[in-house]
Amino acid sequence: MPDQAGPTQRDLPAGSRWREPFSVLQTNLQEVDADFDVDAAVAVVEDHGADTWMLNAGGISSFYPTDLPFQTRNPLLGTRSSGDLFGDAVAAAKGKGFKLIARFDMSKVSARIAREHPEWLYRTPEGEPQVYNTLFSTCPSAEYYQERTLDVLDEVLDRYDVDGLFFNWFNFNERDYDEVNQPPCHCASCQAGFAEFSGGKQLPAVMLGENFGLWRQYTARTLARLTARIVDHVAARGRDIGVLLRRGAPIVYAEGNNAYRAMPGKDFWPHAPAEAVSAHVATQPDSSILVNCVAFIDATYRMGNEEPEHFAQYLLQTTARGGNPSAFFFGAPGRLPMERALSRGRDVMRFRRDHADLYRDLRPAAEVAVVRPDFGSVTGGTFWEVQDEFRGVYEALLEQHVPFDVVPVADLAAVEARGALDRYRLVVLPDVGVLGRGAPAVDAYVSRGGKLLITGTSGVSRDGEVELACSPAIRPLGAALAGNDLWSTYATDADQPRIGEYHYEGPILPVMGRYQRFVWRPDAARVGCVLPRAPHAPPELAYGHTASDDPEHARGRYGDGEVVLVPWTVGRSYREYGKTDARDHLGGVVRSLVDPAVTADLHDRVEIIAGESGAGTVVHLLNHSGVRRRSYGAHVPVGGGSLRLRGRGADDVRAEALVAAVPLATRVDGDDLVVELPVLGLFEVVVVATAG
What's at 409, amino acid-wise? Answer: V
| Residue 6: closest CA among 437, 368, 329 | 437
d(CA 685, CA 589): 29
Stretch that binds Zn ion, among 50-58, 180-188, 454-462, 481-489 (CB under 5 A): 180-188
Stretch that binds Zn ion, among 22-30, 134-142, 355-363, 649-657 (CB under 5 A): 134-142
Q: Is 114 in the site for Zn ion (CB under 5 A)?
A: no
Smallest distance from Zn ion to CB 119, Å: 10
What's at 513, amino acid-wise? Answer: G
Smallest distance from Zn ion to CB 103, Å: 24
Burial class (CB in 10 A: 0-12, 13-18, 19+), 477: middle
* Residue choice 34, 45, 113, 139 for contact with Zn ion (CB under 5 A): 139
Stretch that binds Zn ion, among 6-14, 139-147, 600-608, 614-622 (CB under 5 A): 139-147
Residue among 187 and 272 whose Cβ is closer to Zn ion: 187
d(CA 230, CA 243): 8
* Residue choice 100, 109, 187, 410 for contact with Zn ion (CB under 5 A): 187
- Per the DSSP assignment, residues forming a β-bridge with 566 are 455
d(CA 195, CA 218): 10
- Check whether the bond before 507 is cis (ω within 30° of 0): yes
Residue among 184 and 532 whose Cβ is closer to Zn ion: 184
Smallest distance from Zn ion to CB 108, Å: 14
Residue among 139 and 621 whose Cβ is closer to Zn ion: 139
Name which of residues 513 to 552 contact Zn ion (CB under 5 A). Answer: none
Reduced to 3 states (helix: H, G, I; strand: E, B; else coil), residue 644 is strand
Residue among 185 and 249 whose Cβ is closer to Zn ion: 185
Residue among 175 and 521 whose Cβ is closer to Zn ion: 175
- Per the DSSP assignment, residues forming a β-bridge with 101 are 54, 164
Smallest distance from Zn ion to CB 149, Å: 15
Q: How many residues bind Zn ion (CB under 5 A)?
A: 5
d(CA 587, CA 576): 17
Residue among 108 and 555 whose Cβ is closer to Zn ion: 108
Is 454 in contact with 564 (CB distance < 8 Å)?
yes
d(CA 576, CA 34): 50
* Residue choice 27, 52, 130, 141 for contact with Zn ion (CB under 5 A): 141
* Residue choice 190, 349, 680, 682 for contact with Zn ion (CB under 5 A): 190
Is 620 in contact with 423 (CB distance < 8 Å)?
no
Residue among 193 and 392 whose Cβ is closer to Zn ion: 193
Stretch that binds Zn ion, among 32-40, 181-189, 203-211, 642-650 (CB under 5 A): 181-189
Q: Which residues contact 242 (CB under 8 A, 6 or more apart)?
A: 12, 16, 17, 18, 101, 163, 164, 165, 250, 251
Residue among 145 and 329 whose Cβ is closer to Zn ion: 145
Smallest distance from Zn ion to CB 246, Å: 18
Q: Is 185 in the site for Zn ion (CB under 5 A)?
A: yes
d(CA 464, CA 254): 36
Q: Where does 59-148 have alpha helices with state H?
A: 85-95, 111-116, 143
- Per the DSSP assignment, residues forming a β-bridge with 608 are 621
Residue among 70 and 577 whose Cβ is closer to Zn ion: 70
Smallest distance from Zn ion to CB 206, Å: 16
* Contact set with Zn ion (CB under 5 A): 139, 141, 185, 187, 190
